[in-house]
Amino acid sequence: MHRRSFLATLAAAAATPRLSWADAGSPAYLAAARLPDDSYALHGLTVAGESLFGLPMPARGHAATAHPERPLAVAFARRPGTFALVIDCARGIETARLTPPEGRQFNGHGTFSADGAVLYTSEVIAEGSEGRIGLWDSDTWQRIGEMPTHGIGPHDIRRLPMSDDLLVANGGIQTDPTDRTKLNLDTMRPNLARIAPDGSLMARAELPEGLHQNSTRHLALLPDGRAACAMQWEGDAAETPPLLALWAEGALAACPVPETEALTMQNYAGSIAHSAKTGEIAITSPRGGAVQVFAADGRFKASFRRADACGIAAGPGGFIVTDGNGAVLALDAAGFRPLAKHALNWDNHLIALERA
């Protein structure tokens, strides 16, 4: 393309209104995967579990986040992450690539500001795992600043509804800067931090003392302003603490399960979702090969078995679940119903492209 026509195209693009999610014909979900040749990709999925596109990723992916207005999403590398991809969801192409600054590592999750102008990325200082939120301009994709997460080893990060405050799951685990070796399991102290856009701490919630080895890792926002948090137990494997906690008014309350369910999840919750349709909260465990469903008040409802189930998001009838064997399944009170099976391994998360 000649420079002049390129500029003309650019001018035309600027003059016409940007595409919105409604125009895009874009997928309902994003999910990272490993392919049979051991390469990695990010797929856009329909509600029926069909793939609309598979975009190559330079290395293993983790989660993604959707822009509130424009049909774009940012997909993050698995921690310690060295890249994030900006994706045009309508066309399934990469339009920009983010690299963390020297000495910082992406931790797999991010979220946008309410107006979509700023992307927030969950990061650590590589040495010591102190948490940082990276700030990126969503037009130029330049880094414009950073702020503390008020904890060690942040993982998931969400913007609270009708607010520009952020909720960060500081998992509490210090890891080796070069790999994922855990260094502080005896002294770890996870928290959920509510953080104002200027970086100041609005509220910090911790679990009771006996649960300090319960790493707070993944979050689901509830429509009433509360949040649900999925945890991973790093203490004695013979103990079976709750893996779900509800965050309300800046405090955390654990949601125990009946003793007959104590081993179901093998002390590990990989993902969490809330279904607006049923009002339920669900957590997944690939290690236990199960999904546990809770009422909105945290009461245990049921377990459903599915080997290596991990990705979960709200679906038309309840939830949609992805697993390491390539299946996409609908989950409701009647159990699982397979929607599609792909020749790949779905990774940790299924991201619903919920738009305002």
Binding site for another protein (CB under 8 A): 34, 62, 78-79, 108, 155, 180, 217, 232, 236-239, 258-264, 268, 270, 286-287, 289, 305-310, 323-325, 327, 336, 338, 341, 345-348
Taking the complex as a whole, how short is the minimal distance between the CB of residue 306 and another protein, in angstroms?
7
Do residues 216 and 243 make contact, with C-beta atoms less than 8 angstroms apart? no
- Backbone φ and ψ for 5, nearest 5 degrees, come out as -65, -35
Please say whether the beta carbons of 170 and 216 come within 8 A. Answer: yes
Structure tokens at 81: 């992450």
Nearer to another protein, 270 or 318 (CB): 270
Angle at 132 between CA 131 and CA 134, to 5 degrees: 155
User: Which candidate, 352, 266, 264, 268, places its Cα nearest to that of 300?
Assistant: 264
Which of 113/325 has CB closer to another protein?
Answer: 325
Decide whether 52 or 262 has the Cβ nearer to another protein: 262
d(CA 356, CA 333): 28
Here the contacts of 318-324 (C-beta below 8 Å, separation 24 or greater) are: 318/275, 318/277, 318/278, 318/280, 319/273, 319/275, 319/280, 319/282, 319/291, 319/293, 320/29, 320/47, 320/49, 320/350, 321/284, 321/291, 321/350, 322/31, 322/346, 322/350, 323/286, 324/286
CB of 216 to another protein, least distance (A): 13
- For another protein, the closer of residues 91 and 182 by Cβ is 182
* Residue 263: CB minimum distance to another protein, A: 6
Identify the three-state secondary structure at position 114. coil
Choice between 17 and 258, CB closer to another protein: 258
The smaller minimum CB distance to another protein, of residues 194 and 306, is found at: 306
Between 24 and 340, whose beta carbon lies closer to another protein? 340
Q: How many CB atoms lie within 10 A of CB 73?
A: 23
Asked if 66 contacts 88 with a C-beta cutoff of 8 angstroms, the reply is no
Residue 346 near residue 329 (C-beta atoms within 8 A):
no
Residue 154 Cβ, how far from another protein at the closest point, in Å?
13
Nearest approach, Cβ of residue 313 and another protein (Å):
15
* Contact of 326 with 343, CB cutoff 8 Å: yes
Closest approach of Cβ 338 to another protein, in Å? 5
Q: Which is nearer to another protein, 23 or 236 (CB)?
A: 236
Strands 327-332 and 318-323: antiparallel
Least distance to another protein, CB of residue 331, Å: 13
The distance of closest approach from Cβ of residue 293 to another protein in the complex, given in angstroms and rounded to an integer, is 16
